[in-house]
C-alpha cells in the first residue's frame, strides 16, 4: 500500500475481550460500525464472547466463527494463535481496553513491510491525566513496533467520545408518542408525570429510592430494561419476577419492564425519559448525547478506585452550575454509587437547571470532536508517516 493511500481504503482489526457486562463490546461495536459506515474502512471485529454480542446485536449468530453484520466482518476470537496464523494483518490494529492481542498476531505485525498503526483504545475518563497520556507512544520490548494510547475524554487534548453523524437528526425526529405505544404499550404519559429510565447494576440504594418515588407528591413513571436491577424491582413490588412486559403500581410510582434494548434503539429509551439512570461507559456516553439530566452508576472497583473517576466526570459536567445544584448533583451521584442514601426531592428540586445544563453540555462535548473522527485522523497521519 503506497504512502498516498486514502484513509477510506484502510483495513482495521479491532480486538475485544468481553470482561463483564456489555460495556467493552458495546463501545467496540459502535466504533466498528462508525469506522465502516462513516469512514469507509474495511473493519473486522474479533470478539471472544459472541453470546454477549448477540444481546446487543441480534443479527450476530453466536454459533458462527465468521460472519458479517452492518458491513463489519465479525470473527470469534477463540484461540490465542487464531488471528496471527490465519488472518491478514490490517493497516490499523485496535487493541480495545488493553485486551492483549495474540502474540502470534503481533509477530506477524512486525514482519509486515509497512508496520500497522497500533492503537490501544482506553476506557473513558474525565481525569486530568487523560490529556497528558493521550496519543503517547509505547515501543514494543521485542519487535520494531510502536503502540499509541488513545484516551476518550471530556476535554481538549483527548479523543472525545463516540457520536454518529446522524445522531442529532435522529433525536430531533424521534416520535415519542409512537415509541410509547410500540415499546411500552401505553400512551405517552402526561407532562405532569416524571418519566425515569433505570439501567443500573445491582444497587443497595434502590429500595430507598423506590420508596421515595412511591411516597412522593409527584407521579413517577419508571422504565426498566430487563437486566441486573430487575430482581430488586420484583422484590419491591412483591412480584416473583419483573421481566419484560410486567407492570406494577404503588402510591405515586408506576413501573414498566422493557425487553433488553438492542444497541441501535437504546437512544430512543433515553429520549423518551425526563431523566436517565445509566451505568458503565456506553450508556453513560449515550445519556450525555440525549441532552437530558442523568445519573451515572460507575462500574465499581476495589478500594473505591472508581470514585476519583466519578468526581472527575462530575467536575466537568457540573462546571457552571449554581452552587446548590452542583452540590445536589454531587451528593446524589455519590449516594447512588454507594456512599449514602439518595435524596430524590433535594436533587430533583433543581430539575430546570439540570435540564438546561444537559443541553449546554452536549454542545460543549461536541466541540471536542467525535471519537471515531479523531481516531481516523490519528491513524491516517500515522499511516502516511510510516
Edge to edge, what strands does the sheet with 220-225 contain? Answer: 247-250, 253-258, 220-225, 194-198, 275-279, 294-297
Catalytic residue among 254, 281, 282, 370: 281
Q: In the prediction, which pLDDT does 56 show?
A: 83
Q: In the prediction, which pLDDT does 20 show?
A: 64
Catalytic residue among 24, 48, 164, 226: 24
The answer to whether residues 91 and 12 belong to one domain is yes
Residue 1 has pLDDT above 50, yes or no: no
Active site residue 281: yes
Q: In the prediction, which pLDDT does 187 show?
A: 96
The CA distance from 209 to 132, in Å, is 39
Percent of the chain with pLDDT over 90: 76
- pLDDT average, residue stretch 238-245: 96
Q: In the prediction, which pLDDT does 79 show?
A: 55
The answer to whether residues 239 and 117 belong to one domain is no
- pLDDT average, residue stretch 61-79: 90
Q: In total, how many domains does the chain have?
A: 2
The answer to whether residues 104 and 200 belong to one domain is no
The answer to whether residues 222 and 361 belong to one domain is yes
Task: Find the CATH number of the domain harbouring 180.
Answer: 3.40.50.2000
**Beta-bridge partners for 224:** 257
The CA distance from 124 to 281, in Å, is 7
Query: pLDDT by residue (tens digit) across 131-180?
Result: 899 999 999 999 999 999 999 999 899 999 999 999 999 999 999 999 99
Residue 347 has pLDDT above 60, yes or no: yes
Say if residues 102 and 75 touch (Cβ distance below 8 Å).
no
The answer to whether residues 188 and 306 belong to one domain is yes
Q: In the prediction, which pLDDT does 78 show?
A: 75
The answer to whether residues 331 and 210 belong to one domain is yes
Residue 2 lies in a domain: no
Domain around 271: 167-366
SS3 (DSSP) at 385: helix
SS3 (DSSP) at 272: helix
Task: Find the CATH number of the domain harbouring 88.
Answer: 3.40.50
Say if residues 260 and 225 touch (Cβ distance below 8 Å).
yes
The answer to whether residues 190 and 201 belong to one domain is yes
The CA distance from 26 to 41, in Å, is 19
Residue 384 has pLDDT above 80, yes or no: no
Residue 212 lies in a domain: yes
Residue 141 lies in a domain: yes
Q: In the prediction, which pLDDT does 19 show?
A: 73
The CA distance from 257 to 223, in Å, is 6
- pLDDT average, residue stretch 375-381: 92
The answer to whether residues 373 and 276 belong to one domain is no
49-53, 120-124, 320-324: range with lowest mean pLDDT = 49-53
Q: Report the half-sphere exposure of 132 (CA within 13 A, side-chain side).
A: 3
- pLDDT average, residue stretch 265-294: 96
Query: pLDDT by residue (tens digit) across 89-126?
Result: 899 999 998 888 888 889 889 988 889 999 999 999 99
Mean pLDDT taken over the chain? 91
The answer to whether residues 86 and 213 belong to one domain is no
Residue 176 lies in a domain: yes
Residue 301 lies in a domain: yes
The answer to whether residues 215 and 327 belong to one domain is yes
Residue 1 lies in a domain: no
Report which of 83, 71, 16 is spatially closest to residue 282, judged by C-alpha positions: 16
Q: In the prediction, which pLDDT does 230 show?
A: 96
The answer to whether residues 347 and 273 belong to one domain is yes
The answer to whether residues 65 and 12 belong to one domain is yes
Residue 372 lies in a domain: yes
Q: In the prediction, which pLDDT does 305 show?
A: 81
Residue 358 lies in a domain: yes
Instruction: Give, rounded to a whole angstrom, the gap between the first and last alpha carbons of the chain.
Output: 11
Residue 30 has pLDDT above 70, yes or no: yes
**Beta-bridge partners for 257:** 224
Amino acid at each position: 500500500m503506497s504512502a498516498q493511500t486514502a484513509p477510506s481504503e484502510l483495513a482495521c482489526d479491532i480486538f475485544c475481550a468481553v470482561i463483564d457486562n456489555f460495556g467493552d463490546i458495546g463501545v467496540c461495536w459502535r466504533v466498528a460500525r462508525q469506522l465502516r459506515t462513516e469512514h469507509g474502512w474495511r473493519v473486522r471485529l474479533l470478539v471472544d464472547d459472541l453470546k454477549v454480542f448477540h444481546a446487543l446485536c441480534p443479527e450476530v449468530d453466536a454459533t458462527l466463527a465468521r460472519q458479517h453484520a452492518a458491513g463489519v466482518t465479525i470473527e470469534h476470537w477463540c484461540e490465542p494463535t487464531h488471528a496471527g496464523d490465519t488472518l491478514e494483518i490490517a493497516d490499523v490494529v485496535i487493541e480495545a481496553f488493553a485486551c492483549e492481542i495474540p502474540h502470534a498476531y503481533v509477530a506477524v505485525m512486525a514482519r509486515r513491510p509497512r508496520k500497522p498503526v497500533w492503537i490501544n483504545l482506553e476506557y473513558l475518563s474525565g481525569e486530568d491525566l487523560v490529556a497528558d497520556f493521550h496519543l503517547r507512544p509505547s515501543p514494543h520490548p521485542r519487535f520494531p513496533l510502536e503502540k499509541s494510547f488513545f484516551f476518550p475524554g471530556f476535554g481538549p487534548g483527548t479523543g472525545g467520545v463516540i457520536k454518529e453523524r446522524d445522531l442529532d437528526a435522529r433525536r430531533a425526529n424521534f416520535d415519542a408518542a409512537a415509541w410509547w405505544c410500540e415499546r411500552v404499550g401505553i400512551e405517552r404519559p402526561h407532562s405532569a408525570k416524571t418519566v425515569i429510565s433505570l439501567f443500573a447494576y445491582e444497587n443497595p440504594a434502590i429500595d430507598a429510592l423506590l420508596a421515595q418515588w412511591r411516597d412522593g407528591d409527584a407521579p413517577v413513571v419508571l422504565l426498566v430494561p430487563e437486566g441486573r436491577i430487575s430482581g430488586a424491582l420484583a422484590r419491591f413490588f412483591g412480584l416473583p419476577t419483573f421481566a419484560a412486559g410486567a407492570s406494577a403500581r404503588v402510591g405515586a410510582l408506576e413501573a414498566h419492564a422493557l425487553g433488553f434494548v438492542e444497541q441501535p434503539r437504546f437512544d430512543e429509551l433515553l429520549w423518551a425519559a425526563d431523566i436517565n439512570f445509566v451505568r458503565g461507559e456506553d450508556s453513560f456516553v449515550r445519556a450525555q448525547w440525549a441532552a437530558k439530566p442523568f445519573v451515572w452508576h460507575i462500574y465499581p472497583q476495589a478500594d473505591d478506585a472508581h470514585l476519583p473517576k466519578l468526581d472527575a466526570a462530575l467536575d466537568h459536567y457540573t462546571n457552571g452550575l449554581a452552587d446548590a445544584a452542583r452540590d445536589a448533583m454531587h451528593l446524589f451521584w455519590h449516594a447512588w454509587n454507594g456512599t449514602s442514601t439518595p435524596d430524590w426531592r433535594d436533587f430533583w428540586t433543581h430539575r430546570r437547571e439540570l435540564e438546561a445544563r444537559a443541553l449546554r453540555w452536549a454542545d460543549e462535548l461536541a466541540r471536542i470532536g467525535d471519537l471515531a473522527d479523531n481516531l481516523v485522523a490519528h491513524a491516517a497521519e500515522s499511516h502516511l508517516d510510516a
